[in-house]
A = this chain, B = another copy of it.
Amino acid sequence: MKLATLRTVGGGTTAALAMAADSYLALPAIDVGALLAQPEWRTIVEKAAAATHQDVISGADADFGPLLPRAGKVICCGLNYGDHIQELGRELPEYPTLFAKYADTLVGASDAVEVQGSVRVDWEAELAVVVGSELFRADDDQARAAIAGYTVANDVSMRDWQSRTLQWFQGKAFDRTTPVGPVLLTADEARDDFEVRGYVNGELMQQGNTSTLVFGPAQLLSYISQFTMLRPGDLVLTGTPGGVGMGMRPPRFLSDGDVLITEIDGIGRLENRFRIHAPVIANA
């Protein structure tokens, strides 16, 4: 099944189940995170799908909020695709490179993204893993069993801020700049590997297959769980394939008005127009 967090007319949000014919069934939870926090969430979805009275939202009216607007942890892995690592001139790592961001960074699948104060706004198309149950000091098998499913994310990065210091956090933590969604594809329906693609104004920039990840989804969750508890609705971004703007010669960055598309076959597509409020300076 596919689950979404949709904005409602009253200014709130609701978790929703994608149904046939491009429509969504509202579920009794304010977002996908609140749904996953209930251990019997599958039963809740099944009951809603079988109910006589259904609150159905047409696909045309669906306004996607960030999939997990209140995720407790959003942990990202850098340098995880062989080709991207080579693009940056680095060697294959023994351990995953991890950094943290907060849920305030997240935006919806079709939202405009406003950036103020950066002139090196770069893209990072990624598969994101959604945690489905508590996980602490877990092995790979336990971690795999705790995956609720997968979604699409773009770890949009302000390279000027990211490179100001050794720690990437400040370039990765701008509020409302990390598109995520449109849906969670549950693990039981997921293929083994995903094709991840990123486009700028229709031009293909990034393409990678998650079969080439140095650390796969279960490995990442297991590794992280050695030091911190993962909980339902937490999000782990698995890293980006080659083709980021910073790696180009000369480097390329997003300009005001550009449209960034991030898509994964079988899950869905993010399409975000960028508003970049910053003095225009040369990219290189």
Contact = CB atoms under 8 A, between A and B. Distances in A.
Interface in A140-194: 158, 161, 164-170, 173-175
> How many monomers of this protein are in the complex?
2
A227 B173 contact: yes
A99 B99 contact: yes
Contact of A78 (B167, B174, B226, B229): B167
A248 interface: no
Interface of A: 72-73, 75, 78-79, 93-102, 104-105, 116-117, 136-137, 158, 161, 164-170, 173-175, 224, 226-229
B228 A167 contact: no
Contacts of A78: 167
A170 B72 contact: no
Contact of A95 (B95, B165, B174): B165
A13 B46 CA distance: 38
A228 B99 contact: no
B102 A228 contact: yes
Nearest to A105: B228
Given A100-B100, A100-B169, A95 B227 contact: no
A224 B175 CA distance: 11
A93 B229 contact: no
- Which of A79, A96, A116, A173 gathers the greatest number of chain B CB atoms within 10 Å? A173
Given A97-B165, A116-B137, A170-B224, 16 more contacts: A75-B169, A94-B164, A95-B164, A95-B165, A95-B170, A96-B165, A97-B167, A98-B170, A99-B99, A99-B167, A100-B173, A117-B226, A136-B175, A158-B227, A166-B166, A174-B228
Contacts of A166: 97, 166
Contact of A175 (B168, B174, B228): B228
Given A104-B229, A227-B117, A229-B104, A98 B175 contact: no
Contacts of A164: 94-95
Contacts of A226: 117
